[in-house]
């Protein structure tokens, strides 16, 4: 996998809308994320040509969204591209993506949720990309960004040192929804639930593999397209998956996992990392989601030794860590430690 150049203060970061046009609908929310990102990391944020168009226009113009992406990759002054927010129709930009443009202009690309589609395009182009915060969800966090997220962004995107051990002490987590359309809410801190740690469901010894995955619903949409990785790409991979704010039930999770089993994904893996369930699901129901994973992996696939860690801090709960696609990751079931054993970025290409 190609590694992009690291970010440094003064670099230009492009804000892009690839799916839902939320930044055009609620510009104050985007501006909060832009301001907080610039103030903390010293970068300069610029918007792609159509990033701030209204949701209806964005919906009608998937090619314009793809054109923005291609222009941002091709522009030598842009050092990173961060997604505005997710949505549900990034699939519609795929016919207009030129993988050669991505491959020939390696740079940081980051987002989550529906942005999984573009991550799979980067994967197909051979470029490491980053499953992490977006402008409106993460960088625009109410009353200031979470230190846990800041630390992972800095460790992952601004340093050429190996990322090292991931840690579960996030200082609390939240899915509390404060209406983004009310600017007054931008100054209200969200309530945090206590961190109870990650759950190690099974596995022994030490396993290694390269990270790949995304939002489970979006991966389900991608199956059957040319952008879904072939079986060979899953060999020894450490799969990371998480569910969206739409709160799919454990039964729905089972149904989305079963097709991955049918195409042979799980039998290739070195481990599975599962994010805390997204949406307004009470913690006492989290074990039901663990059981959904175990039903497929253990009961149906018979993989009794495959490491499975759940309740992790990425995806649709905050704060979130950053997961780089394609990087070698060590899962130590004996010490209950997960480490990314290489750097995600390099010195300027």
Convert the pLDDT of each residue in 302-321 to its tens digit: 999 999 999 999 999 999 99
Q: Helical H runs in 14-80?
A: 22-25, 27-41, 55-60, 62-74
The pairing of beta strand 78-83 with beta strand 12-16: parallel
Considering the chain, tell me which residue range(s) the CATH 3.50.30.60 domain(s) occupy: 183-340
Q: Looking at the domain 12-162, which fold is it?
A: Rossmann fold (3.40.50)
Q: What does the chain come to in residues?
A: 349
What's the average model confidence in pLDDT over 126-139? 98
Cα separation, 39 vs 165, in Å, equals 27
Whole-number percent of the chain with pLDDT over 90: 97
* Residue 172, strand partner residues: none
Please choose, from the candidates 92, 79, 65, 83, the residue with its C-alpha nearest in 3D space to the C-alpha of residue 119: 83
Per-residue pLDDT, 279:
94
Over residues 203-239, the pLDDT tens digits come to 999 999 999 999 999 999 999 999 999 989 999 999 9
Among all chains, which residue has been given the structure tokens 């799979």? 120
**For residue 41, what are the CA distances in angstroms to 17, 155, 201?**
21, 12, 37
What's the average model confidence in pLDDT over 39-49? 98
Cα separation, 292 vs 294, in Å, equals 6
- Intra-chain end-to-end CA distance of the chain, in Å: 14
Please choose, from the candidates 35, 224, 54, 68, the residue with its C-alpha nearest in 3D space to the C-alpha of residue 135: 35
DSSP string, 228-250: SPPGGGGTT-EEEEE--TT---H
What's the average model confidence in pLDDT over 141-159? 98
pTM of the model: 0.98
Among all chains, which residue has been given the structure tokens 């995600």? 344
What's the average model confidence in pLDDT over 235-262? 97
* Cβ–Cβ < 8 Å for 74, 8: no
Per-residue pLDDT, 349:
66
Per-residue pLDDT, 169:
82
Q: What distance separates the 2 farthest-apart alpha carbons in the chain?
A: 52
Omega cis (within 30) before 319: yes
What's the average model confidence in pLDDT over 271-279? 97
Please choose, from the candidates 124, 91, 88, 89, the residue with its C-alpha nearest in 3D space to the C-alpha of residue 109: 124
Whole-number percent of the chain with pLDDT over 70: 100
Per-residue pLDDT, 198:
97
Over residues 182-196, the pLDDT tens digits come to 999 999 999 999 998
SS3 71: helix
Please choose, from the candidates 92, 55, 50, the residue with its C-alpha nearest in 3D space to the C-alpha of residue 72: 50
Cα separation, 94 vs 310, in Å, equals 31
The dihedral built from the CA positions of residue 320, 323, 329 and 331, taken in this order, carries a sign that is positive
What's the average model confidence in pLDDT over 234-258? 97
**For residue 220, what are the CA distances in angstroms to 23, 41, 114, 134, 241?**
26, 35, 11, 22, 11
Tell me the average pLDDT of the chain: 97
Per-residue pLDDT, 348:
84
What is the torsion angle, in degrees rounded to the nearest 10, for the CA atoms of residue 159, residue 161, residue 166 and residue 172? Answer: -30
Superfamily of segment(s) 183-340: LD-carboxypeptidase A C-terminal domain-like (3.50.30.60)
345 band by pLDDT with thresholds 50, 70 and 90: very high
Flag whether pLDDT at 9 surpasses 90.
yes
Considering the chain, tell me which residue range(s) the CATH 3.40.50.10740 domain(s) occupy: 12-162
Flag whether pLDDT at 94 surpasses 90.
yes
Among all chains, which residue has been given the structure tokens 């596995």? 203
Per-residue pLDDT, 112:
98
What's the average model confidence in pLDDT over 282-291? 97
């Amino acid at each position: 996998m190609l590694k992009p150049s690291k970010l440094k203060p003064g670099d230009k970061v492009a804000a892009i809308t690839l799916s839902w046009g939320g930044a055009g609908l609620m510009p104050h929310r985007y501006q909060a994320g832009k301001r907080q990102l610039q103030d903390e990391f010293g970068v300069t944020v610029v918007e792609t040509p159509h990033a701030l168009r209204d949701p209806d226009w964005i919906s009608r113009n998937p090619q314009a969204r793809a054109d923005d992406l291609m222009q941002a990759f091709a522009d030598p002054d842009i050092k990173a591209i961060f997604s505005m927010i997710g949505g549900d129709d990034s699939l519609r930009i795929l016919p207009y993506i030129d993988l050669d443009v991505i491959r020939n202009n390696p740079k940081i690309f980051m987002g989550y949720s529906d942005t999984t589609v573009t991550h799979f395009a980067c994967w197909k182009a051979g470029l490491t990309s980053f499953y992490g915060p977006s402008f409106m969800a993460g960088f625009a966090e109410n009353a200031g960004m979470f230190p846990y997220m800041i630390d992972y962004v800095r460790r992952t995107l601004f340093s050429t040192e190996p990322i090292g051990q991931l840690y579960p002490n996030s200082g609390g987590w939240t899915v509390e929804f404060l209406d983004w359309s009310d600017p007054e809410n931008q100054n209200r801190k969200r309530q945090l639930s206590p961190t109870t740690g990650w759950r190690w469901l099974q596995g022994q010894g030490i396993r290694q593999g390269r990270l790949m995955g995304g939002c489970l619903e979006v991966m389900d949409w991608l199956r059957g397209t040319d952008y879904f990785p072939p079986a060979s790409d899953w060999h020894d991979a450490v799969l990371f998956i998480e569910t969206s704010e739409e709160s799919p039930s454990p039964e729905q999770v089972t149904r989305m996992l079963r097709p991955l089993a049918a195409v042979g994904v799980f039998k290739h893996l070195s481990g599975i990392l599962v994010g805390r369930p997204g949406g307004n699901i009470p913690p006492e129901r989290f074990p039901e989601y663990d059981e959904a994973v175990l039903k497929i992996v253990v009961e149906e696939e018979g993989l009794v030794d495959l490491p499975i860690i759940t309740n992790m801090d990425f995806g649709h709960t905050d704060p979130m860590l950053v997961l780089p696609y394609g990087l070698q990751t060590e899962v130590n079931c004996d010490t209950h430690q997960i480490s990314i054993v290489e750097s995600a970025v390099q010195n300027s290409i």
